[in-house]
Amino acid sequence: KNEVEQSPQNLTAQEGEFITINCSYSVGISALHWLQQHPGGGIVSLFMLSSGKKKHGRLIATINIQEKHSSLHITASHPRDSAVYICAVNSGGYQKVTFGTGTKLQVIP
């Protein structure tokens, strides 16, 4: 079993829909990251969080430390949100980061 599991693996949504991507982890962590990877490869860090909730524009990330679970929400989705979203956790000390396999999101106009 992977230390970081994401669901769903693939997601297709209509423009304007509310989207939720889930991440569960099995290890103790110091921080959790949500990353976005567009076609072509470049990865951008969206959020880093260790408790509670963070919001940036239409993106919201939440984490429940007790349940070892995080969600990434996208409100009013847009085709430009189409990308792979990756959950990653810091655990085990000294910059060790474990990555999920990603959720591929396609938003259709």
Partner 1 sequence: DVKVTQSSRYLVKRTGEKVFLECVQDMDHENMFWYRQDPGLGLRLIYFSYDVKMKEKGDIPEGYSVSREKKERFSLILESASTNQTSMYLCASSLSGGRVMGETQYFGPGTRLLVL
Q: How far is the CB of 18 from partner 1 (least distance, A)?
A: 26
Encoded tokens for 32: 């959790």
Encoded tokens for 77: 């989705």
User: What does the chain come to in residues?
Assistant: 109
Of the candidate residues 44, 65, 76, 108, the single one contacting partner 1 (CB under 8 A):
44
Judged by CB under 8 A, the chain residues 53 through 92 that form the site for partner 1 are: 86, 88, 90
Largest CA distance in the chain: 43
Strands (E), 50-100: 52-56, 59-64, 69-74, 83-90, 97-99
Of the candidate residues 39, 57, 93, 109, the single one contacting partner 1 (CB under 8 A):
93
Contact positions vs partner 1 (CB under 8 A): 2, 4, 30-31, 33, 35, 40-45, 48, 50, 86, 88, 90, 93-97, 99-102
